[in-house]
Structure formats: structure tokens, C-alpha cells
A and B are shown apart, each in its own frame.
Chain A
Amino acid sequence: MLIRGVALLAGCFIAGQLLGETLGRLIHINANVGGVGFAMLLLVFAQNWFEKRDSLHPEMESGILFWSKMYIPVIVAMSATQNVRVALSSGLIALAAGIIPVAICLFLVPSITRISLKTPEEWSI
């Protein structure tokens, strides 16, 4: 049962990546356009479908949950393999152009959220 969950996740992953690659080719940029996003949507759909049929076995679920719990460790490994030395040494321009736009966008988060969000209370998780 555990492997069925992992396989479902893998299936959504591959299908999503394929969609992303295909879309990238269709619009002539050699990149994967939103592959991870598509895969996530597929997993959300698949999960809803299984839940409706009442056939989402808990063990199957734990096959997927294991990977979502491995997420932070994987990110730690990823940050340990970045070229931090070069990012720090390639000068002021990388620092300024990397940080200033971020600050501006962070500042905008609340106002754009308000567009769809009239009553913040209903969004609490």
C-alpha cells in the first residue's frame, strides 16, 4: 500500500513535468514551464478523486506524507550545494539587484492579498 502512494506521487510528478516540458516547447523556450505546479494540481485532483470514492488508504497517504516531511531536509541539502562563495563575491550589483526588488515585493504582499481577500478571518488554516 505504501508503494501505491509513492507511485501515485511519482505518476503525478512525471505527468506534470511532461506537461511543463511540452508547454515550454510549444512556446519556444527551452525550459520547463510550471511543471511542478501542474504536478501539484494533478496530485490535488487525484487526492480529491480518491477521497470521494473513499479509497484513500491511510498507508497510501503515508507514502506521500513521508516525502512531504523530507522536504525541509532536502532544502537544507540544496542550500548546502549553492555557489554561495561566488554570490557573495561578485559584487555590489548582485547584492543590490537581488535584495531591493525583494524588499519592494514583500511590501506589496498585503495590498495584493487584499484584492481577493475581504475578510482575513475566513482564510485561517
Chain B
Amino acid sequence: MEYITTLLAKNGLVVAFLSVGLIMYSSDFLSEKLTRKKIPGSAIAIFLGLVLAYIGGVVSGGSKGIADIKELSGFELMGGAMFRDFAIVSTAMGVSFVVVRKTGLAGIISLFVGVILTFFTGATIAYFMGYRDAISITTIGAGACTFVVGPVTGAAIGASSDVIAISIATGLVKSIAITICTPLVARVIGLNNPATAMVFGGLIGTTSGVAAGLASTDPKLVPYGAMTATFYTGLGCLLCPSILYLLVKVIVG
């Protein structure tokens, strides 16, 4: 038995390709048989991925989801930042430059509104849940932006590690919520064209969540949403530990 585990762990990436392939296959099957394609196969696949991550976390007690199980450690490479970003960039193939230019202003407005509004909503919730110091409030508010902005901000202004952990969890909940909600609300908010996708990406941020959500809504929209979402993290890292922190400090004293 031991040699099988070793073999699978040694060929981790290939095992991940096989496993994800099987997940996609069964998701397409479930989508067709159970929902008559109303819920796209890709959305089911991403949800199954999250379920696997939960199982992996419970079984191993680790923090890397299913990748903490030795035989499936290749998931970490396949789902890591390198492949993810490489694949995101490739989706720009076929993007219409005319559309990008036309969306310009709305894209920039959505970025600022997205970061500032999300920050203050998160900060207000932190306040009402018992956090009274500017550093914790700011860190949790930043975590509401993305799970990168939270820890970057927390580290910059000297937050305690449990508050930083909460901010990461907040960003993660956001990313998961977006992944699941996007295909469900797409029709209601008119998310069926590149311009709206760019505004959507700018308002929401979280590249991973936006890209996953759009992927299960309409894969053609992914590059547009991902393009603005990728600037969200930068703007968040820029505004949260500086201007927004000072503002919170003034408000809560």
C-alpha cells in the first residue's frame, strides 16, 4: 500500500489533473440529470471543490484543504497562484479592446466605490460585534475587501494574529459567497455583457471569487471581470492601511 501512496504523491500534478477531470465529469452529469443544466456544471464542480476542501480540512486538520492529504497534494500546485494567474491571463485572448476602453470610467468608479463601501460595511459590522479599537476594526474591514488586503493591512498597522485570522476568514467567506451567488443573481443584475462584468469585477474585487463566479455564469465574461478585480487588491492594499485607517481612527477615537 505504501508504494501506491508514494507513487501518487510523487506524480501529484498528474493525479490532480485526473481528479479534477473526474470532478468536472461528474458535475456535468449532475448538472444535466438533476438540474436540467439550470445550474452550470462548472458551478457544481467549484462547489464540490469547496466540499472536498472541507473534508480535507476535517480529515487532516490542516489548512490547505484536500491538498493536506498526501495522495492529493498535487491540488496545491494545480490550484496554486502560478497556474491560476497563468490561466486567468490566457483568458484575455479574444478580448475586445474597444469594450475595455468604453468601460473605462465606470470601471474606475466601481473600483473606488467597491473598496471603500466594502471596507466601511465590514468595519461597521466589526464595531457592532464588539471590536472597539481602530486597528482591529480596520483589519476586519480590510478583510471584507479580500483575504489578501486583510492580512496586508493588519500587518502594516500592527493587528493581533487572531484579528488577522478573522480578516482572512472574512475574505474567504466573501470569495465563497461570490462563487456561489454570481450565477444565481446574474440575470437580476444584468450580468450578461463585458461592460457589466468589468463593473462587477471592480465592485467585488476578490479575483478568485469573481473569476470562479463568472466562469460558472458565462466563461466569456471571465477576462473582463478578472481584469478589474485584479486592480481591486492593489487599491485595497493602498487605501486600507493609510487613508481608511486614519479615517477609522478619527471616527472611533
Contacts and interface: CB of A to CB of B under 8 A. Distances in A.
**Genuine A/B complex:** yes
B248 interface: no
Given A74-B83, A125-B220, A83 B53 contact: yes
Contacts of B212: 75, 78-79
A44 B199 contact: no
B191 A44 contact: no
B199 A113 contact: yes
A81 B66 contact: yes
Nearest to A45: B97
Contacts of A86: 57, 63, 165, 169, 172
Given A71-B222, A102-B204, A95 B173 contact: yes
Interface residues of B, number: 116
B79 interface: yes
Taking chain B's interface residues, is the majority helix, strand, or loop, or is none over half, making it mixed? helix
Contact of B152 (A9, A31, A73, A95): A31
A93 B141 CA distance: 11
A40 B67 contact: no
A73 B23 CA distance: 9
A55 interface: no
Interface in A56-91: 61, 64-65, 67-68, 70-88, 90-91
Contacts of B143: 94, 97
Interface string B8-30: 00000000110011011000000
Interface of A: 9-10, 12-13, 16-17, 20, 23-24, 27, 29-37, 39-41, 43-44, 47-48, 61, 64-65, 67-68, 70-88, 90-102, 104-110, 112-113, 115-117, 120, 123-125
